Structure 1
Amino acid sequence: MRAVLAAPPPTLLVIAKAPVPGRVKTRLTPPCTPEQAAGLAEAALADTLHTLGTVPAGRRLLVLDGEPGSWLPDGWLVLPQCGGGLAERLAAAFAHAARLAPDAPALLVGMDTPHLSAAALAEPLSPARRTGVDAWYGPAADGGFWALGLARPTERLARQLLLGVPMSTPGTGAALLDRLTEADLTIHQLPLLTDVDTIADARLVAAQAPGCRFAERLRSIDHAPEVAG
């Protein structure tokens, strides 16, 4: 019981691009315009930051490609993304977390799951439930992953797990899961979620969480002629 009470609160990370037209959610265009796609990206990011803001945490880090805007809530430390591919940038995000809170677990999500609930993270990251867990893995419906957490994050471990994993492919999640297994880590699997990549994904996610900002933004543009299909 004493160890549970003394367990440090987790560091929560979001890795994201600033919602600039033409730079985000390009697979939504067409049918969306670049401005509409950026609006959906902004809503998804705002939903994600709001949700993680309600999950108990010691630190909240936004690892951002671009500049923050009015969508950024209080309580987040913004850090710039490093150069390199996605795997390098993910590993660098964990390295940031390890430097700021070396004894705390760190969990990272992207900006593509606005329907994520706080309970999906708060319960498995609670001190009582994380005893004996080395890693958290959130599978995505497209074969990728939406979350990765490490109970004892280090730059070396993050690079071991991530570098060389082919990103943005149907086999990305399986390859990462293999790395976690090969590292002999005890894994807690999080719920399967849909990443928003296409307009079909967007409508599915909005139907699952109709009250979120993302769903409201989609409703505001979904009747426009260019997104009617």
Structure 2
Amino acid sequence: MSEPTTPDTTLLVIAKSPSPGRVKTRLTPPLTPEQAADIAEAALADTLDAVRLAPARRRVLVLDGRPRAWFPADIDVVPQCAGGLDVRLAAAFAACTGPTLLIGMDTPQVDPDLLAVDWTLADAWFGAAADGGFWALGLRVPDPALLLGVPMSVPHTGRVQRERLVAAGLRVRDLPVLNDIDTAEDLAEVARDAPHTRTARLAQAYHALAARTTRADVPAATGGPA
């Protein structure tokens, strides 16, 4: 992007509170539910770091679950509404006025510069995810109707959502495709791409722990006949 986000932009992060058994369940196995929750917490912390460094009028965490003590005080925390993901995303946009960019908690590799979108270039900014979903959606004029009814968490979610924007006559610009953390393979890829993040450091620590545990569980070799 050539220009920074305007000061009027609201940055939204939609997330689940990182509780074992409720988040990152596709990481178990190889991780335990507690380790998967730790990864989710690290990913959310990395994401909020990027949001805090990006220029914006307001920064909001739209949360499913209880707030944590470590959540940054300069980010507003509001509860998610009930309903499917399309309803919850639509409600998050409905609560905003002016240009709004929403991202999830599954892309801890996100850079503050990626969030500095230029609203003079587009009515909507779209960040596709490698799994067929999307990691970012920005609307210069928030319109909840653009999200309602979009099938979520399926391989064609991103395609349908982007087509909805185009069909509404919006000028759509694309952000880079990013990898969501859903599986152990995703986690390893993100850790390679963003080794400076909390998420990568924790993933590497859990990988090393698993390797040590595996070696300890292998019986020592016994001598055979001469």
1:68 corresponds in structure 2 to: 67
Structure 1 segment 79-90 matched on structure 2, within 5 A: 79-90=78-89
Residue 106 (structure 1) aligns with:
100
Is 2:133 the partner of 1:174? no
CA contact (8 A) 1:9 1:56 kept: no
Secondary structure of the residue that 1:69 maps to in structure 2? Answer: coil
Tell me the residue number matched to 1:135. 124
| Cα deviation, residue 113, structure 1 | 0.1
Displacement after TM superposition at 1:223 (Å): 2.1
Any conservation in 1 of the 2:7–2:55 contact (CA below 8 Å)?
no
Is 1:212 the equivalent of 2:184? no
Distance 2:207 2:72 in 1: 27
Q: In 2, Cα distance between the equivalents of 1:87 and 1:130?
A: 24
- Partners in 2 of 1:190 and 1:28 — Cα distance? 26
Listed one character per residue, the Cα deviations across residues 41-79 of structure 1 (whole Å, up to 9, x for unaligned) are 000000000111000000001000111113311211100
Letter in 2 for 1:107: L
Give the paired residue count.
Answer: 209
Q: Identify unmatched segments of 5+ residues in structure 1.
A: none
Cα pair distance change 1:174/1:201, threshold 3 Å: same
Shift of 1:133: 1.4
Question: Deviations along 1:127-171, whole A, 9 cap, x unmatched?
Answer: xx3214111100000110000010011xxx22x211111111110
Do structure 1's residue 19 and structure 2's residue 31 form an aligned pair?
Answer: no
Letter in 1 for 2:140: A
Percent of matched pairs sharing the same residue:
56
What SS is found at the alignment partner of 2:77?
strand
CA shift for structure 1 position 225: 3.1
Whole-angstrom CA distance in 2 between matches of 1:45 and 1:205: 14
Gaps of 5+ in 2: 215-226
One-letter amino acid of the counterpart of residue 113, structure 1 = T
